Amino acid sequence: MSLLRFWLFDFFGVDEDAIGMNVLYYINDVCPRLKGLLFMRKLKIYIETTLFNFYVDEDRGEAHLDTVKLFKEIAEGKYEAFTSDYVVDELKKAPADKYTKMMGLFNEYEIPVLGMNYEADRLADLYVAEGVIPQKYRTDGLHIAIATVNDLDIIISMNFEHIVKRKTIKMTGHISAMNGYRAIEIYSPMEVIENENV
């Protein structure tokens, strides 16, 4: 008996006939994402450019501390973190010493880099065409798009102008869904880290 069947039928006492084997098959075999959510699988998060800046910039106060705490939770295995070549390109614009520190975080926290691809470019262009992301800031759309096409769960950013914004979250989610992708969640570090006072 699979673990899913144990939880449904033995632990929770669900009537196997009542739920139907078709539903069980769908959850267990066709929709592993739903199965993963039932058992609290590790969330896949996208680390956007601003977080690398906030990590190394100690003058950012609480925002710096919250960002460092998020990276600590990544190291502890709470999240499976990713970033992208779009982030790497943006980090190259920083002064050499800061760039070296930020790039060092990739190895220190074992963060894989997602490559650029056509689907992300296409989706970002749709975000721009629909007026969600300004053309001048198309890279912000690329961050959302690359995380979306790679089926990640959450984007974490400190970019409140174009990314962590209600309009952006709502509209990019709609556009993504219309193009066959899941709407992705977008948060700041302080919204996802564990609160030690709770």
Residues 27 and 118 in one domain: no
Q: Are strands 154-156 and 79-84 parallel, antiparallel or unpaired?
A: unpaired
The conformation of residue 133, written as its DSSP 8-state character, comes to S
- On whether residue 143 sits in a domain, the answer given is yes
Q: Return the amino acid letter for 99.
A: Y
The C-alpha angle with vertex 153 and arms to 187 and 11, in degrees rounded to 5, equals 115
- On whether residue 24 sits in a domain, the answer given is yes
Residues in the chain: 198
- Portion of the chain with pLDDT greater than 70, in percent: 78
Cβ neighbour number for residue 95 with a 10 Å cutoff: 8
Q: Can you give the pLDDT at residue 39?
A: 52
Residues 56 and 140 in one domain: yes
Q: Can you give the pLDDT at residue 38?
A: 47
- On whether residue 112 sits in a domain, the answer given is yes
User: Taking 90 as the threshold, does the pLDDT of residue 28 lie above it?
Assistant: no
Sign of CA dihedral 103, 109, 114, 120: negative
Q: Which residue from 179, 172, 177 is spatially nearest to 46, judged by alpha carbons? A: 172
Q: Can you give the pLDDT at residue 41?
A: 79
Report phi then psi at 197, rounded to 5.
-90, -5
Residues 23 and 79 in one domain: no
Sign of CA dihedral 143, 148, 151, 155: positive
Cα–Cα distance for residue pair 23/5, rounded to 1 Å: 11
What is the domain extent for residue 158? 43-192
Q: What is the pLDDT of residues 30-63, one digit of tens each?
A: 444 544 454 567 999 999 999 999 999 999 999 9
- On whether residue 136 sits in a domain, the answer given is yes
Sign of CA dihedral 125, 130, 136, 137: negative
Whether this model's pTM surpasses 0.95: no
